[in-house]
Amino acid sequence: MTRNPAAVVAVAIAAASASASTALAQESAVPDPDRTDWSLQLEGGSEYDSNVHRVERRESVIGSPLARLGARHRLAWRRTPRERLTLASHGGLKVFTRETGQTENVAVLSADGGYEWGLPARGLILGLSGNYYDAIPYQLSDAEDDDGLGRHFRIGQGAASATLVGPRGHRVTALAGYRAFHYKPDEDLDWQGEHVGLIYQGTFWRGDPDRDDDAAAIEVSAGYRVERRGYEGRALTNICEDDDNPDVECSGGTGFDRADLNHSVAVEAVYTGRRIYSARYELQVNDSNSFGESLVRQRLQLGLTTELFREIYLTAEATALINIYLDPLLVARDEQALTFVSIDEENRNSLALHLSRALTRHWAIEGRYAIYSNEFTNHELTFRRQTVYLGAVYRYER
């Protein structure tokens, strides 16, 4: 969970909707009609968090052990070869053992659904999709939130898409939808608005599995998305126009509602063979009529999945983030904890390692380590957070 309500939650959900709208086009063969596939996954384990409240001030950093529990369900059903219904749901629980961490306890509920209708004669796939995510705070004690940092939110969206399927797996998807965001600690940061996007996906090289046991493929995707965000709160203005270094006191209210226009351009390449390599670059521009809220964000993600030894698999992902704040007031407000760098860890620089090994057909163990920082986001604040997790997974599918 995180801290800047308007900045990055849209990225993960936009990617999910794009993936849902093109899933049918990615299949190389048409399965039998009236076929149902579903899976259930249960997971649980223990974790240690070195920075429970995600604070930048080192003197306020508190660590704590915690327990995680979760359940995931996926269902895919075809009424005919041309139609496909999908539903995925997730429920998670995070409970801290230290009294000071009780304010960070959270339950997470999410659901994703989609319908796709293929028109092979026209090379067209029409789709509808919906997403919902809710982070629900709760406490097992009467601990007070001395830090005052809330990151709980809910977000939902609906979208319609049309995918043109070309030769050799090339696809172009156009989508349009509406999204609503609610930031529970501060209703002024709630927003809603329309978004449209255009996504290209294609396979540029694929090996021959009949000749090569390690047949590989290279897939490339690129997309652009623009979203209007109309906020409940009012826009701010700079009342210290002659000051080269404005501070929090220079922020004054206006009679206008805050409105942002968020642009995102992303390019990704994935190599799949004996190992899986991935690289993704995203440029995001948030243009706001509220002083201190306009920024340019660049993110580079590199990933690797490989088998180490004895069927132990490693997935590693590194993320480098560069933020350029167009108004100096934004950093000053960070120091006063009035606004935040992000509401999700995907808006931090990070290195994440995930180890997993299957024990039986249904059981597996996994371990995770992650470190988060903000070296490239700004020079005024220093952020560090590390997490270590060990748990078990039960999975059943049919």
Average pLDDT (72-98) is: 94
**pLDDT surpasses 60 at 48:** yes
What is the C-alpha separation between 339 and 288, in angstroms, rounded?
15
Burial 271-296 (b: 16+ CB within 10 A, else e): ebeeeeebebebebbbebbbbbbbbe
Which range (59-63, 76-80, 81-85) has the least confidence?
59-63
In the prediction, which pLDDT does 366 show? 97
Of the pLDDT bands very low, low, confident and very high (cuts 50, 70, 90), residue 3 is very low
At a CB cut-off of 8 Å and minimum separation 6, what does 377 contact?
A: 321, 322, 323, 341, 348, 349, 383
Average pLDDT (222-247) is: 82
In the prediction, which pLDDT does 81 show? 86
Q: What is the pLDDT of residues 243-301, one digit of tens each?
A: 555 555 666 777 888 999 999 999 999 999 889 999 999 999 999 998 888 889 999 99
**pLDDT surpasses 70 at 26:** no
In the prediction, which pLDDT does 211 show? 62
What mean pLDDT, rounded, does the chain reach? 82
What angle (nearest 5°) sits at the alpha carbon of residue 10, between those of residues 9 and 15?
110
When mean pLDDT is compared over 26-30, 58-62, 321-325, 391-395, the highest value belongs to: 391-395
Q: What is the pLDDT of residues 160-169, one digit of tens each?
A: 999 999 887 7
In the prediction, which pLDDT does 380 show? 57
Q: What is the pLDDT of residues 351-384, one digit of tens each?
A: 999 999 999 999 999 999 999 987 765 555 678 8
Q: Which of 88, 87, 42 is nearest to 68 (CA)?
A: 42
Q: How many CA atoms lie within 13 A of 293 on its CB side?
A: 25
In the prediction, which pLDDT does 178 show? 97
Chain mean position to CA 238:
32
In the prediction, which pLDDT does 340 show? 38
Q: What is the pLDDT of residues 95-153, one digit of tens each?
A: 999 988 888 899 999 999 999 999 987 889 999 999 999 999 887 766 555 444 457 89
Average pLDDT (211-230) is: 85
Predicted TM-score of the model (pTM): 0.81
In the prediction, which pLDDT does 345 show? 53
In the prediction, which pLDDT does 180 show? 96
Average pLDDT (181-197) is: 92
**pLDDT surpasses 50 at 25:** no
Which range (38-42, 225-229, 324-328, 330-334) has the least confidence?
330-334
What percent of the chain has pLDDT above 90?
A: 52
For residue 363, give both structure tokens. Answer: 């059981």
In the prediction, which pLDDT does 214 show? 62
In the prediction, which pLDDT does 97 show? 92
When mean pLDDT is compared over 150-154, 180-184, 289-293, 325-329, the highest value belongs to: 180-184
What is the C-alpha separation between 382 and 281, in angstroms, rounded?
24
What is the C-alpha separation between 14 and 128, in angstroms, rounded?
13
What is the C-alpha separation between 358 and 372, in angstroms, rounded?
28
In the prediction, which pLDDT does 138 show? 84
In the prediction, which pLDDT does 65 show? 96
Rounded CA Rg of the chain = 22
**pLDDT surpasses 60 at 31:** no
At a CB cut-off of 8 Å and minimum separation 6, what does 220 contact?
A: 201, 202, 204, 267, 268, 269, 270
Q: Which of 3, 109, 16 is nearest to 346 (CA)?
A: 3
The domains located in the chain, with CATH, are: 9-397 (2.40.160)
What percent of the chain has pLDDT above 70?
A: 76
